[in-house]
């Protein structure tokens, strides 16, 4: 039973948020030493751990405590003085909790780095100040870019061995910054450190007075990661159907991305059945909403067929549903090469299905970014593939949504994971893109709009007005919730139709499947959709109709240029201050039916 002291689950997520970060660098650049120093100086090492380190260091004949032994746990790692496997460490400060993935730096352990970095919010790349930017340093940046890690910190280590030279630091930073311009890295920071002596790791060093930035741990505590979370695309892969008794049926899972509230309209994929969120449950508590990372049970207003592997999404924000797609994959099997036409098990979110590699598009050299033709991929190699799954999967491009863009390939013979992949786009989308490019090129050969003359027919607009007994008008609704905008448009259409008006309703729903079927959710395509909507509305008003446009997005600057002032009525559903030439309505405080009736009177005054 909840009490007044209970804290809603939606606030617990934000208390001391979790930062996952990975370390990478060339062999002997000091990755494990850096982590050990960070844990030691931040008082995260227990006394028995410290005594164990001191004992092992003495047995190895070392004068000082070797902090790298904290993460180099395998016997082979300690003997060779390198990292081989991925080592995870957990610690926390007053500001934030951390999970560290110490990954190996050598090329032969690329699969280990990909594994450790796949969930990272931030990557720390170490560069030896004596050697500068090496091939391996570039490779780690390329892998971080491929994995879409939002933040990269380049720690230029062993500054004590170059006398804490600012010139050397600036030289290495400039070289790596120029290289990073070729990659998909948007936030990169450089910090001079000495992991062995602790300079700028936890505490600011007096020996680098020329460096004005924060020490590494302070940066990790303060870096903003909330903006990296995808809170727009609601994706809920169903893990299990919960039915404790005949009066309750819910669907358990973890919110992969986005947020969901009670009352939201949703669609279940792949069946496309519509429903509304009835309740959100976490253990014994009922929540008003859930967001990315929360494991909850959703119940719906309608009894629809949903099982494990299906996905619940918002009605107006649907992922790609395809069984053919292109992906970048890191091959992890040392026994067999990846070959086309071989069947694998594909595991994506909660869905498991068979898949086959249709084609290896190219092999990517992770040291140089060079692409070369390939007939197979060997252990630790990365390549671009075309894959066909036995049934459709529900995905977003990995760059947009890491939770629904990643997958693994499994050997069906022994169920070993043999590949980790990142979906780039649907193969069919690629075809559509090529068609659109061809269409755009063909349009460039046509005369410009200024050279084309409109050819009038034998029926004038005035003749249509006489027959229809009303003037034409375009009613353009924008703003507000999509559901509210569409509801007002539908009610207004029925009211006008019942009064004898020739009326047409255009919304996102009835244009997406036909007129805009070839468009995607990106800025150029959104602009193209606006152009099509305005042009279609203009054609219909020229035929004497009243056209209700329920596109809840914004208003294009060219809208008023396409219509005569007496043939356009722009309505904002967001409320707020008055806007010149716009009817402002507050749909949050007024019932949709009342809003529609008010608009009907305004329209009647304009057309009769």
Indicate whether this model's pTM tops 0.75: no
Architecture of domain 461-607: 3-Layer(aba) Sandwich (3.40)
Could you tell me if 553 and 511 are in contact, meaning their C-beta atoms sit under 8 angstroms apart? no
What stretch of H or E contains 462? helix 461-468
Please give the Cα distance from 555 to 534 (Å, whole number).
10
Tell me the C-alpha distance between 574 and 484, whole Å: 11
8 A C-beta contact, residue 501 and residue 464:
no
d(CA 544, CA 539): 9
- pLDDT given for residue 350 in this prediction: 93
Cα angle 313, 315, 321; round to 5: 60
pLDDT at 60: 66
What is 320-429's CATH topology?
A: Elongation Factor Tu (Ef-tu); domain 3 (2.40.30)
Q: What class is the 235-314 domain?
A: mainly beta
Site of tokens 């990296």:
228
pLDDT of residue 238: 96
Rounded to whole angstroms, how far apart are CA atoms 428 and 327?
A: 13
Q: What pLDDT, on a 0 to 100 scale, did the predictor assign at position 86? A: 62
* Domain boundary assignment for the chain: 18-224, 235-314, 320-429, 461-607
pLDDT at 31: 76
Antiparallel, parallel or unpaired: β 151-157 and 122-128: parallel
> Rounded to an integer, what distance in angstroms lies between the CA atom of residue 83 and that of residue 100?
14
Residues with pLDDT less than 70, the chain = 1-16, 45-51, 53-54, 56-87, 105-110, 427-456, 513, 521-523, 552-554, 557, 576-580
Query: What CATH number should be reported for the domain whose range is 18-224?
Result: 3.40.50.300
Are 503 and 599 in contact, with CB atoms under 8 Å apart? Answer: no
Segment 317-326, tens digit of pLDDT: 888 888 889 9
Q: Are 24 and 105 in contact (CB under 8 A)?
A: yes
pLDDT for res 170: 95
Residues 6+ apart with CB under 8 A from 120: 20, 21, 22, 101, 147, 149
Question: What is the predicted pLDDT for the residue at 564?
Answer: 80
Q: Do domains 235-314 and 320-429 have the same CATH topology?
A: yes
Write down the pLDDT at residue 51.
67
| 80 SS3 class | helix
Q: What is the pLDDT of residue 2?
A: 39
445 exposure class (CB count in 10 Å sphere: 0-12, 13-18, 19+): exposed
- Would you report the helix, strand and coil content of the chain in percent, each value rounded to 5? 30, 30, 40
DSSP state letters, 482-496? HHHHHHHHHHHHHHH
Instruction: Please give the C-alpha separations between residue 320 and each of 229, 385, 386, 524, 557, in angstroms, as whole numbers.
Output: 20, 18, 16, 18, 31
Q: Can you say how many angstroms the Cα of residue 54 is from the centroid of all Cα atoms in its chain?
A: 45
Residue 360 confidence (pLDDT): 94
């Amino acid at each position: 039973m909840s009490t007044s002291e209970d804290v809603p689950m939606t606030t617990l997520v934000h208390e001391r948020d979790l930062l996952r970060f990975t370390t990478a660098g060339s062999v002997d650049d000091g990755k494990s030493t850096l982590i050990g120093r960070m844990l030691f100086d931040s008082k995260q090492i227990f006394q028995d751990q410290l005594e164990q380190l001191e004992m092992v260091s003495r047995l190895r004949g070392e004068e000082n405590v070797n902090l790298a032994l904290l993460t180099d746990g395998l016997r082979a790692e300690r003997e060779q003085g390198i990292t081989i496997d991925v080592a995870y460490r957990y610690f926390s400060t007053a500001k934030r909790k951390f999970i560290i993935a110490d990954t190996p730096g050598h090329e032969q352990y690329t699969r280990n780095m990909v594994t450790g970095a796949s969930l990272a919010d931030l990557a720390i790349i170490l560069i030896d100040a004596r050697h500068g930017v090496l091939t391996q340093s570039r490779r780690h940046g390329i892998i971080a870019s491929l994995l879409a890690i939002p933040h990269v910190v380049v720690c230029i280590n062993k500054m004590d061995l170059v006398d804490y030279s600012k010139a050397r630091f600036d030289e290495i930073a400039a070289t790596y910054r120029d290289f990073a311009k070729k990659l998909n890295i948007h936030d990169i920071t450089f910090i001079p450190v000495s992991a062995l002596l602790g300079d700028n790791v936890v505490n600011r060093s007096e020996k680098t007075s020329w460096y004005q930035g924060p020490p590494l741990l302070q940066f990790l505590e303060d870096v903003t990661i909330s903006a990296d979370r995808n809170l727009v695309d609601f994706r809920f892969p169903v893990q299990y159907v919960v039915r404790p008794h005949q009066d309750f049926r819910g669907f358990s899972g973890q919110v992969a991305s986005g947020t969901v509230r009670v009352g939201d309209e949703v669609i279940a994929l792949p069946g496309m059945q519509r429903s509304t969120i009835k309740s959100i449950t976490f253990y014994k508590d009922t929540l008003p909403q859930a967001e990315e990372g929360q494991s909850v049970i959703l119940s719906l207003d309608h009894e629809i067929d949903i099982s494990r592997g299906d996905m619940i999404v918002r009605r107006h924000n649907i992922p790609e549903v395809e069984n053919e797609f292109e992906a970048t994959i890191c091959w992890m099997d040392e026994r067999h090469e990846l070959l086309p036409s071989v069947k694998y098990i594909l595991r994506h979110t909660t869905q498991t299905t068979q898949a086959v590699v249709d084609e290896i598009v190219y092999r990517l050299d992770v040291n140089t970014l060079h692409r070369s033709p390939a007939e197979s991929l060997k252990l630790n190699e990365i390549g671009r593939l075309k894959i066909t799954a036995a049934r459709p999967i529900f995905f977003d491009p990995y760059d947009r949504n890491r939770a629904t863009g990643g997958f693994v390939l499994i050997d069906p013979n022994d169920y070993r994971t043999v590949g980790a992949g990142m979906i780039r786009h649907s193969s069919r989308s690629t075809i559509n893109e090529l068609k659109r490019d061809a269409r755009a090129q063909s349009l460039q050969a046509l005369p410009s709009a200024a050279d084309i003359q409109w050819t009038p027919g034998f029926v004038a607009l005035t003749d249509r007005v006489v027959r229809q007994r009303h003037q034409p008008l375009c009613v353009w609704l924008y703003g507000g919730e999509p559901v509210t905008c569409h509801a007002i448009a539908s009610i207004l259409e029925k009211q006008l139709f019942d009064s004898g008006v020739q009326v047409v309703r255009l919304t996102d729903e009835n244009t997406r499947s036909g007129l805009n079927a070839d468009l995607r959710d990106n800025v150029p395509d959104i602009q193209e959709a606006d152009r099509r909507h305005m042009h279609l509305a203009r054609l219909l008003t020229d035929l004497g109709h009243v056209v209700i446009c329920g596109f809840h997005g914004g208003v294009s600057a060219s809208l008023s240029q396409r219509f005569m002032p007496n043939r356009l009525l722009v309505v904002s559903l967001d409320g707020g201050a008055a806007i010149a030439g716009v009817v402002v309505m507050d749909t949050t405080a007024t019932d949709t039916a009342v809003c529609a009736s008010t608009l009907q009177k305004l329209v009647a005054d304009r057309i009769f």
